[in-house]
């Protein structure tokens, strides 16, 4: 089963307590202040891509240089990513994007996601109906959803340039294995975070 978890503007609180000590704690707080902020809404938060055998992964690899990938046949599912409740003062032609991040498979050029140690995992791309080959998005890569209007003509950039704008993304399965004999079996668990990024 592949599980995808999505985030919004990064804000996390982590509580760490030293082993064997109840008198010490560290709180790590992060946030992001931007000229514009939007809520990210996704059409699916848990995506189960089903069950497969190693033979299904024949040819389902990622090109380390170009990112081109042929996912496992019938493993692909689309989901939408939409911007909601945007606030702030947009700048002319500034982009509203999401940054993709999550644990990745070693040797995949940071393009196959899986928090379980394995040579198989999930790949993410922009949706393209009917596509077999696509370019896998890299861990840390920003994907633009919308861009503000230019300064002229009037009225110039508005929050409506971002609100309710969306893209379709696609997930599928791939491997770094050189052949099906070395495809590792087991659970695929890929928490993928989408953080809002402005400009």
User: Taking Cα atoms as reference points, which of 31, 45, 62 lies closest to residue 172?
Assistant: 62
User: Looking at the predicted structure, is the pLDDT value of residue 11 above 50?
Assistant: no
pTM here is 0.81
Question: To 5 degrees, how large is the angle CA 12–CA 13–CA 16?
Answer: 135
What are the pLDDT digits (tens) for 135-177? 899 999 999 999 999 999 999 999 999 999 999 999 999 999 9
**Architecture of 35-198 per CATH?**
Sandwich (2.60)
| CA distance linking residue 89 with residue 91, whole number of Å | 7
- Tell the burial category of 137 from Cβ atoms under 10 Å away from its Cβ (0-12, 13-18, 19+): buried
User: Looking at the predicted structure, is the pLDDT value of residue 128 above 90?
Assistant: no
- The pLDDT, as a whole number, for residue 133 is 65
Contact 72, 172 (CB under 8 A): yes
What are the residue boundaries of the structural domains of the chain, listed by start? 35-198
What are the pLDDT digits (tens) for 12-60? 334 344 455 568 899 999 888 999 999 999 999 999 999 999 999 999 9
* DSSP state, residue 113: B
Buried/exposed code over 91-100 (b: 16+ C-beta within 10 A; e: otherwise):
eeebbbbbbb
- The pLDDT, as a whole number, for residue 115 is 96
């Amino acid at each position: 089963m592949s599980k995808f978890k999505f985030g919004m503007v990064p804000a996390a609180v982590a509580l760490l307590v030293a082993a064997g000590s109840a008198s010490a704690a560290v709180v790590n707080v992060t946030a992001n202040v931007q000229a514009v902020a939007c809520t990210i809404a996704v059409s699916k938060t848990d995506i189960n891509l089903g069950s497969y055998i190693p033979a299904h992964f024949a040819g389902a690899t990622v090109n380390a240089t170009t990112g081109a990938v042929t996912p496992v046949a019938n493993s692909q599912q689309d989901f939408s990513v939409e911007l909601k409740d945007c606030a702030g003062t947009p700048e002319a032609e500034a982009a509203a994007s999401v940054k993709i991040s999550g644990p990745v498979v070693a040797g995949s050029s940071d393009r196959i996601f899986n928090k379980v140690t394995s040579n198989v995992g999930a790949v993410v791309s922009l949706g393209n109906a009917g596509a077999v080959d696509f370019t896998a998005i890299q861990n840390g890569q920003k994907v633009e959803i919308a861009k503000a209007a230019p300064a002229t003509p009037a009225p110039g950039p508005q929050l409506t340039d971002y609100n309710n704008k969306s893209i379709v993304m696609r997930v599928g399965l791939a491997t770094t294995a050189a052949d099906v004999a070395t495809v590792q079996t087991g659970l695929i668990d890929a928490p993928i975070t989408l953080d809002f990024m402005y400009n």
